[in-house]
Amino acid sequence: MPPAPAKGDSEKQRLLNEVEEQVGKCRRCGLRQGCTNVVFGEGNPDAQIVFVGEAPGEEEDRQGRPFVGRAGELLTKQINAMGVQRSDIYIANVCKCRPPGNRAPLADEVEPCREHLLLQLRIIRPKVIITLGNPATHALLNTTVGITRLRGQWQKMPDTDPDLAGIKVMPTFHPAYLLRAYTEDNRRKVWSDLQEVMKEVGLKR
Ligand code: URA
C-alpha cells in the first residue's frame, strides 16, 4: 500500500485537521471503545473526487488509514486505472471506527458519524462523490433503494444539506463485494461507473 499522503498546509487541510481532532474525541457511540485507531480519511483536500466506504476493517483499524486491506488494494487499482493516484483524490468512510468483528455498523453508530462525514465533505466540496456499496449510498442519499438498482446512475446530494445539495453522486459496488463476486459482468459495471466519473471530471480514458 502506498504511504499516506503528506498533509498539506492549505486552509482546507487546516479545517480538516480541526474536524479530525474533534472526531478523535467523539464518544457518541460505543465503537471507539473497541477499536484501535480512528480512521478519519485521507487524500487531497482539494480533490474533485471523494470515495466513501462503510467503515474500517481490521487492517484499516490497525493502520488508522482507510482502504488499506484487501478491498483497499482493489480500490487503489481502480483509482490508478482512472489515471490518478490515491493522493489526488480523497477517501473516507461513513463510520470512522471499526465495528467489532467487521459487523455492519448499527443505525445509531452510522447517524452520529455521518455528521462527521458531512463536515469533511463540506470542507472538500468535491465535484463528484463515489459511494461504495449500500451503507455509504444510503447514508448520503437518504434512500433505501439497493445498490444494484442505483449503481451507474447519477444521483445528487439531497437538498436537506444546503452546503452539499446538488453535488453529483455515483453509487457503485463496494470493492469488498466485487472481491466476493469477481465476475466479468460486475467488473465491467464498476469500470463503466468509474468511466462516467472520469468523463464528468475531465479525466482522459
Ligand atoms: N471497507 C470499507 O468500507 N472501508 C474501509 O476503509 C475498508 C474496507
Q: Which of 181, 140, 72 is nearest to 64 (CA)?
A: 72
DSSP 73-101: HHHHHHHHHTT--GGGSEEEES-SSPPGG
DSSP state of 152: T
Per-residue model confidence as pLDDT tens digits over 90-116: 999 999 999 999 899 999 999 999 999
Tell me the C-alpha distance between 147 and 144, whole Å: 9
Query: What architecture does CATH give domain 11-199?
Result: 3-Layer(aba) Sandwich (3.40)
Q: Whose CA is nearest to atom 7 of ligand 1?
A: 67
Residue 7, pLDDT score: 74
**Ligand 1 centroid, distance to 58 Cα (angstroms):** 9
Ligand 1 atom with the smallest distance to the CA of 66 is 6
Ligand 1 pocket: which of 78, 93, 147 to mutate (most atoms within 8 A of CB):
93
pLDDT in tens, 131-154: 999 999 999 999 999 999 999 999
Contact by Cβ (8 Å): 79, 71? no
pLDDT at 25 over 80: yes
| CB neighbourhood size of 22 (10 A) | 11
The yes-or-no verdict on residue 177 having pLDDT over 80 is yes
